């Protein structure tokens, strides 16, 4: 089973923390939709022997597209690929785009999952982030969306400067009050060349505090666990049967094709990424050339990637798979590097699977980097 990710590189306005590829100029929107559909067709041979299980519209802001554009792109996938009977089809959406009519229209199409960028239920946080919506729109869209969609995920950001533990807990409780079955939650990260980075440099906004973020993370884990959510990946919490199939495929190393500017692809051995420029992307597709760079992953690259994704999830890292796929040298190295983290109760081995402890989960990316191997090849 495989997935198709479609990147919609447009936004109404730029969120201060975002370093994803997007444009606030919508002039090329129609050309872009045609180019995306053409790339979907051009790459069908890559999935000749695959069945598509998930279609994911990410961005940018996919909800900025007309419903007819989304339908056109979904139809292009069905026309060119084998698709399972009930695929997971997700659209990322912003609350300000989700009017009642739009939600109803989306529900009448093949879209069966919404991922809504709420981020916070407090006006001051939304202003700090420069989000396009307000609190009223966030709550209203969830009230309506939950009537038409069973499978909804919402995004929340923690570690926002001057956000107290009480305020963060209120955010989580408000989210839970809508009965959504999936929550993705991320620490506010300061990326270079973003507006947020510039404001912090100038002293306009305080630097996010790692200790506060860690406290917020533990509050989140405990509160969602009390409410029947399974913490199946570092930033993702789902009720039973509501894990994101798209994201799970990525963490479990399944193949996916990334369509659109800046989109990434993976076929098990190679990683590819499309050009991060809308005009160059459209021009290349119009000339029947794929605007993609490909990196052939070494055995060490694949080992490091498995360590990173495995430690972030409840599925962990299979020591048996390490030995079978990568060999005894890799297994010995992993056991040696993991020993100090096991001793510090940050990692544990159960049934030949290496996983993070509750204490180690927040630190999983840092731990993984200490288990990485620097080229044996």
Per-residue pLDDT reduced to its tens digit, 98-124:
999 999 999 999 999 999 999 999 999
pLDDT in the model for residue 350 = 97
CA 42 distance to own-chain centroid = 25
Dist. CA 252–CA 248, nearest whole Å: 6
Element (DSSP H or E) covering residue 184: strand 182-187
Mean of all residue pLDDT scores within the chain: 94
Strands 270-274 and 264-266 turn out to be: antiparallel
Report d(CA 246, CA 55) in Å as an integer: 7
pTM of the model: 0.94
pLDDT the model gives residue 377 = 52
Chunked in runs of 10, what are the mean pLDDT values of the chain (377 residues)?
94 77 83 98 97 96 94 98 98 96 96 97 92 94 98 97 95 98 93 78 82 96 98 97 93 94 95 96 98 96 95 97 97 98 98 96 95 77
> For residues 134 and 88, is the Cβ–Cβ distance under 8 A?
no
Backbone angles phi, psi at 273, to 5 degrees: -145, 140
Name the helix (H) or strand (E) containing 216: helix 210-226
Q: Report how far residue 292's alpha carbon sits from residue 54's, in angstroms, rounded to the nearest whole number.
A: 22
pLDDT of residue 160: 92
Return the domain boundaries, the chain. 2-251, 299-371
Question: Which value, in Å, is the radius of gyration of the alpha carbons in the chain?
Answer: 21
Cis peptide before 60 (omega within 30 of 0): yes
Residue with tokens 């590829």: 21
163-171 long-range Cβ contacts below 8 angstroms, 24+ apart: 163/125, 163/212, 163/216, 165/215, 165/216, 165/219, 167/122, 168/216, 168/219, 168/220, 169/219, 169/223, 170/121, 170/122, 171/120, 171/121, 171/122
CATH of the domain spanning 2-251, picked from 3.40.1350.10, 3.80.30.20, 3.10.310.30, 3.20.20.10 = 3.80.30.20
CATH class of 299-371: mainly alpha
């Amino acid at each position: 089973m495989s997935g198709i990710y479609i990147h919609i590189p447009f936004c109404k306005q730029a969120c201060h923390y975002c370093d994803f590829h997007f444009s606030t100029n919508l002039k090329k929107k129609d050309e872009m939709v045609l180019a995306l559909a053409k790339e979907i067709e051009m790459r069908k041979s890559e999935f000749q022997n695959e069945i598509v299980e998930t279609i994911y519209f990410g961005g940018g802001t996919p909800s900025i597209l007309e419903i007819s554009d989304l339908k056109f792109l979904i139809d292009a996938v069905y026309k060119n690929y084998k698709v399972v009977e009930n695929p997971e089809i997700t659209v990322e959406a912003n609350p300000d785009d989700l009017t009642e009519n739009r939600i109803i229209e989306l529900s009448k199409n093949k879209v069966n999952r919404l991922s809504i960028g709420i981020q916070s239920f407090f006006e001051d946080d939304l202003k700090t982030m420069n989000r396009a919506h307000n609190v009223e729109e966030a709550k209203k869209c969830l009230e309506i969306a939950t009537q038409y969609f069973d499978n909804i995920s919402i995004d929340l950001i923690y570690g926002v400067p001057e956000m107290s533990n009480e305020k963060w807990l209120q955010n989580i409780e408000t989210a839970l009050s809508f009965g959504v079955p999936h929550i993705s939650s991320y620490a506010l990260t300061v990326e270079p060349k973003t507006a947020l980075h510039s404001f912090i440099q100038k002293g306009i906004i305080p630097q996010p505090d790692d200790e506060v973020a860690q406290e917020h993370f533990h509050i989140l884990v405990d509160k969602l666990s009390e409410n029947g959510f399974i913490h199946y990946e570092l930033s993702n919490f789902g009720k039973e049967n509501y894990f994101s199939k798209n994201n799970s495929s990525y963490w479990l190393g399944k193949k996916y094709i990334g369509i659109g500017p800046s989109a990434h692809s993976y076929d098990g051995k190679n990683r590819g990424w499309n050009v991060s420029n809308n005009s160059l992307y459209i021009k290349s597709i119009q000339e029947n050339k794929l605007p993609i760079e490909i990196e052939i992953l070494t055995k060490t690259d694949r080992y490091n990637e498995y360590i990173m994704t495995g430690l972030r999830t409840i599925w962990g890292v299979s020591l048996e798979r390490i030995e079978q796929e990568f060999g005894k040298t890799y297994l010995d190295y992993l056991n040696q590097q993991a020993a100090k983290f096991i001793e510090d109760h940050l990692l544990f081995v159960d049934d030949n699977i290496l996983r993070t402890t509750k204490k180690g989960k927040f630190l999983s990316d840092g731990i993984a980097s200490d288990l990485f191997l620097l080229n044996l090849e």
